[in-house]
Structure 1
């Protein structure tokens, strides 16, 4: 009996070591399966991002890809810079800047959505014509046109009294705006 007790005492560390090895193996296999889930055979990402830094990098990369690939997006950003310079020169107040920012980003957001819709449709139809694909693309382009029209209305309402005052044109509205500014 004493020899049986010695055997069981000797086996306990071995059993613990074996159990620890099994846990380590399962953790390693879990890590490998997670790596396989988020990347394909070429190492390209196919799953969700696991950290914020990678997500932020991908978002910034997406912005630059749209700027590089889409001529209309470059136009919207260039126009936004002109509006920024004009607003700084004319001395817009805080509430006017709020509306200018809403108008400018409304048009830029519309262009982002249009780019995504067109890319998904192109992916789905794979260079074949489909009437519904054409309809979706046309409606998406119409959405951009509506957002740009809203931007133009907002910018006209904000900049009109400042520009008329700048050029010496006096109206009741422009006098009222400039009396508010002090």
Structure 2
């Protein structure tokens, strides 16, 4: 592999590895943003898992006919996890670029903390989803509670 090719990303579109200037207009910026979303989906297994789980949560919300306020919290929870996965990927890519396959304890710390941020977001999501879906699921089995209602 030639030295200029050592940072090329696999599965990237043809012109992805050549961009160095600013976006010339809104549509170019939009195209690059969509390409970034595509790249994280192609490269990051955990993001694909979060997207599939988010879709399953969407289906469950439709099935249980969630109230509008419940949808708000579900959306916040799901997008918090997805956003944290974006940030984790950014941090991992930057750390890998800086350390260039050499070990440094601060690189490990940065990657571990970024990954921990995703875990905290996923725990937040789980708690929110448990609070939101609990009465709907229990009601399906004939159990009615007022745990979270005034």
User: Normalised by the size of structure 1, how large is the TM-score?
Assistant: 0.71
Give unpaired runs (5+ residues) of structure 1.
Answer: 1-42, 178-182
- Structure 1 position 50 matched with structure 2 position 33: no
Deviation at 1:140, TM superposition (A): 0.5
Cα distance in structure 1, aligned partners of 2:50 and 2:80: 10
Match of 1:79 among 30, 53, 57: 53
Listed one character per residue, the Cα deviations across residues 64-120 of structure 1 (whole Å, up to 9, x for unaligned) are 110111000000000000000000000001110000000000000000000000000
Give unpaired runs (5+ residues) of structure 2.
Answer: 1-16
Deviation at 1:169, TM superposition (A): 1.6
- Structure 1 position 111 matched with structure 2 position 85: yes
Cα distance in structure 1, aligned partners of 2:122 and 2:146: 28
Measured on the aligned residues, the alpha-carbon RMSD in Å equals: 1.6
Q: Which of the pair is proportionally richer in helix?
A: 1
Q: How does 1:92-131 map to 2 (within 5 A)?
A: 92-131=66-105
Give SS of 2:101's match. Answer: coil
Listed one character per residue, the Cα deviations across residues 111-148 of structure 1 (whole Å, up to 9, x for unaligned) are 00000000000000000001100010000000000011
Listed one character per residue, the Cα deviations across residues 19-65 of structure 1 (whole Å, up to 9, x for unaligned) are xxxxxxxxxxxxxxxxxxxxxxxx93211111111100000000011
Give SS of 2:18's match. Answer: coil
Q: Which runs of 4+ in 1 moved over 4 A?
A: none
User: Normalised by the size of structure 2, how large is the TM-score?
Assistant: 0.85
Cα distance in structure 2, aligned partners of 1:126 and 1:44: 20
Between 1 and 2, higher relative CO (CA 8 Å, sep ≥ 6) is seen in 2
**What number of residue pairs does the alignment pair up?**
134
Give SS of 1:48's match. Answer: coil
Cα distance in structure 1, aligned partners of 2:26 and 2:90: 22
Match of 1:143 among 111, 114, 117: 117
